[in-house]
Amino acid sequence: MEPPLLPRESGQFVAKQSQYVSVEEEGVRKVAEMLYSLRGSDELSASGWKTANPLAPSPTSEQAFNWVFVVDTMNFSFWPDEETRQCEVTFRGTTYTGYMTLCAAITRAMEEGVPITDPKFFSQITVEELAHILRSDNETPMPMLQERHQVLTEGGRVLLQHGGSFQNFISRAKNDARKMVELVVEKIPSYRDEAVYQGRKISLYKRAQILVADFWAIAAARGETDIVNIDWLTMFADYRVPQALVYLGALRYSDALMHTLKSGQLLHSGDPREVEIRACSIWAVERIKARLDELAREQGAESSGINSVLIDFYLWPYAKQHHREMAHIPIHHTRCVYY
């Protein structure tokens, strides 16, 4: 089979043929106008990364890059089987759920003296050791422990084979965001987030792209060499940002899809409905970015300076902050290692 379409092209390809999800141009314009009013703020900058995730180590710390690798490698499938029974991790007096349980657990392990950011350690970690690191406050464990163990040890072995740290490994891509994503996808199987839609192989590369974006955010916070080609990255297609896009009117689900999601039906990875939700989210954000640039040109600027990564960096915490208001919009449920 021919190589997969790249994420941006995949989003456009799927959106043109989508049966269950549509990109709504009126909503796209409204979101763009909202974001345009925030241009230049910390909310729409790479520097906002640390603010959005206070559990991450200081960007200037030695462990920052490897911390990001460990967390992003296990960054998938946090939704609970039952809303009333969630994995919880309390750290420094705050109780976290969802993705933040992983961040809290990894930073907690570091404070306990566990060398969790050292590839020599996490490439050989046992399932039992990882279970202790990711332990929950209650009887509900973090989902997919075996899969998290598999991808973490796999990723650690790859780092040891290529320079011994994430920074050394990714340096082979010469500070080019596209080459970074391609390197990660080529060398680490769990990052190959691909599917077949209407007979065409596509890619979404959620975790590979967010890994590179987080690397960019740390480098930017350190004042180090700029990453080129960062605008090549798309948004990171998960289950939370699509919900925000529907809430804001940039995406619309068909009645049939909405009924399916509200019934709690599990969608398998690669299901056409699941692919459409994720790929149309990518294309909706591309349309938002294009409208932002139009607004900037109307004001005499060449572009808005707001890329897809920054839009995602804004929308994900927005979804968390407004989760009560958008509770009537169901998220889709897919158990997989890709998001």
Q: Among 234, 282, 278, which residue's Cα sits nearest to residue 257? A: 278
At 18, is the secondary structure helix, strand, or coil? coil
Distance CA 146, CA 124 (A): 14
Cα dihedral 49, 215, 244, 78 sign: negative
Give the DSSP H or E segment for 51. Answer: helix 48-52
- Unique residue bearing structure tokens 């209407």: 198
- Rounded Cα–Cα distance for residues 302 and 312 (Å): 22
CB-hemisphere CA count at 13 Å for 24? 17
Q: Distance between CA atoms of 7 and 328, rounded to whole angstroms?
A: 29
Instruction: Specify which residues 228 forms β-bridges with.
Output: 176
C-alpha span between 331 and 245 (Å, rounded): 11
* Alpha-carbon gap, residue 236 to 316, rounded angstroms: 9
Residue 255: count other Cβ atoms within 10 Å of its Cβ.
8
* Cα 144 from chain centroid (whole Å): 17
Active-site residue list: 238
Q: Return the CA Rg of the chain.
A: 19
